[in-house]
Chain A
């Protein structure tokens, strides 16, 4: 069988009649979800710095448009697999912040009963098959979920979120090969925030990022990950393709994490200049969408302010709930080892 050549498109703004969401309600929903992630992560940072959260966390601040833009193109029963930087994906797929905070604090009320924590948070009811502390570790899982969907004829798709650092992992390439061979409904979303921890991706990835997927004949796009309308438009098209049985896609979203690799990574000057950080913050995903909404006169600032205030208090209540929630009973330590 002749295989389609991988194609590559570079889009900046949706042209013509966009596939993505453009109704004001939908745009406001995307705005709200991005704000929810931002507020959640700010609170996580605060919990960490005030020594109320055990361990570390990898903040998603700056990258919100990707999780939200992609997940708003999904149904609630579509699958995602997430990463160590997974709070944004989890919220975008529909998780509640109070139960998430409980998990991050190791409390019984958390999504995983406190057993998973930040790097393993999963929300099965919303199709989130889990964050993953092994870089690239979820590529096979996402393809497996897509394989199930195809075999069982459910019409679901799976999205595999990963950072550009995961391009170093062989598993990803084995998985992409099979996904294309078997036309699995899986979308590989590469969140290129330019750094693998403390090393620029130019020093870790030879060739082009998209070229990797193109080599397998996988449909590929590279987009501006800071503009949620661009992300949502691309994701909507790729999801549609996958649902129609046209196979996998590879979406590179260029983005930036505002904070450190994890909450403890404060002194960053040795690996990335302050100016670069400030420059990227000029292209803030929340501001970009807010400006669009206002400039197009789709809504006004007071509505956005209202959303912001509501979310802020929801997040504050959620954190409070989690701080006061009980820890798991010690007897939980050896439950769930086997199903």
Chain B
């Protein structure tokens, strides 16, 4: 379990992300941040507040409301010596930038026979239950994960977010970094000293022996809460966080499945054709002879996210629904 070296410093996810950006901006003059209201406003979520004070508006750049434009500009700048960090306020706006990411950024290295590269990071958000309705609540990381040439990071803790974002910025490829907008205030230990976390290495967030819950982003917190409840009825759950959907640490998932024989995969993207389907198939394939039950999947309900709180809350996995699923899978009454 990659927990921080415990000097006891506790910061929020938002602060961790800002620290990662600040350190990389300081370290490498080719890094810049561009997006809508990223400078003085510090983003719509106030996560980058103050960053422009240190680095100035030449490196923390407010853009027009032109998502395809700033993404395309990022691709071109990345191809020619810069390391852009493009900020797309809501993951829902991924729809607007797909050509630049999928047809351009993802393919340029390959199409050029390895001569060109696109070392850029696209930061965006995911996550429902903010009462933001259908166009501001989706978790569309599966879309990017589908495309060869793109890497996708979905951190679940401040510690992971900081270490992974630094790696993403140093990576030679386009990396999409998904932040759950409901987790910016989540607190966790983050050491003062510099560290990076390599992309594609899973992390066991809680060890257990009866069932594996593979969870991503905010679903890690949901699953940890479910694991507490499961412990009360004598079920020991292991929580494995892949941290990236690509590169994917298949071995970590398969090994945990082999150990516990039962697996649930929980992710906030749509269940249909989603991340859970891919992870479940990797596990079913790699741990087939060890499994005592089919691998279960839990994702967002396959509906546009409704506004009404009573409806919205039904669309995402909760500690209760994960608990119930695990209980059933373990054959507990």
Interface residues of A (CB under 8 A from B): 54-56, 106-107, 112-120, 132-137, 165-170, 196-199, 203-205, 270-271, 327-328, 330, 332-334, 337
Contact = CB atoms under 8 A, between A and B. Distances in A.
Contacts of A54: 131, 307-309
Nearest 6 A-B pairs (CB), nearest first? Answer: A117-B307, A106-B308, A55-B131, A168-B64, A114-B308, A168-B65
Nearest to B44: A197
A332 B307 CA distance: 12
A5 to B, nearest CB: 27
Contacts of B303: 333-334, 337
B135 A55 contact: no
12 contacts: A106-B308, A114-B306, A115-B133, A115-B304, A115-B306, A115-B311, A170-B66, A197-B44, A198-B37, A203-B62, A334-B301, A337-B302
B63 interface: yes
A325 to B, nearest CB: 11
B40 A198 contact: yes
Contact of B66 (A168, A197, A198): A168
A115 B308 CA distance: 6
A185 B161 CA distance: 50
B301 A116 contact: no
Contact of A116 (B36, B133, B136): B133
Nearest to B307: A117
A135 B46 CA distance: 20
A107 B130 CA distance: 17
Given A197-B36, A197-B41, A327-B310, A169 B133 contact: no
- The majority secondary structure among interface residues of chain B is loop
A198 B66 CA distance: 15
A271 B52 CA distance: 14
Contacts of A205: 64
Contact of A199 (B37, B68, B134, B306): B37
A300 to B, nearest CB: 43
B132 interface: yes
A106 B132 CA distance: 11
Contacts of A197: 36-37, 41, 44
B62 A117 contact: no
B64 A204 contact: yes
Given A120-B134, A134-B92, A167-B64, 15 more contacts: A56-B132, A106-B309, A114-B308, A115-B134, A116-B307, A119-B133, A120-B135, A133-B133, A168-B63, A198-B40, A199-B40, A271-B40, A327-B308, A333-B303, A337-B304
Contacts of B68: 170
Nearest to B38: A199
A206 to B, nearest CB: 9
Nearest to B62: A199
Contacts of B306: 114-115, 332-333
A221 to B, nearest CB: 23
B93 A333 contact: no
Contacts of B135: 119-120, 132-134, 137
Range for the number of chain B residues in contact with chain A: 20 to 34
Nearest to A113: B308
B310 A196 contact: no
Contact of A196 (B36, B69, B134): B36
Nearest to A197: B37
Nearest to A205: B64
Contacts of A134: 92-93, 96, 135
Contact of B40 (A106, A170, A270): A270
Contacts of B231: none
B65 A328 contact: no
Contacts of B65: 135-136, 165-166, 168-169, 196, 204
B293 interface: no
Contacts of B308: 54, 106-107, 113-115, 117, 327-328
A208 B64 CA distance: 15
Given A106-B307, A198-B37, A271-B41, A333 B63 contact: no
A196 B44 CA distance: 11
B311 A333 contact: yes
Contacts of B134: 115-116, 120, 133
Interface string B299-322: 001111011111100110000000
Contacts of B36: 196-197, 199
Nearest to A327: B310
B133 A330 contact: no
A132 B92 CA distance: 13
Given A134-B93, A169-B65, A55 B307 contact: yes
Contacts of B93: 134
A250 B96 CA distance: 24
A324 to B, nearest CB: 15
Contacts of A166: 65
| Most B Cβ at <10 Å: residue of A134, A166, A204, A337 | A134
A118 B133 CA distance: 9
Nearest to B305: A115
B307 to A, nearest CB: 3
Contacts of B304: 115, 337
Contacts of B92: 134
B43 to A, nearest CB: 10
Contacts of B131: 54-56, 106, 117
A199 B302 contact: no
B303 to A, nearest CB: 5
A107 B306 CA distance: 11
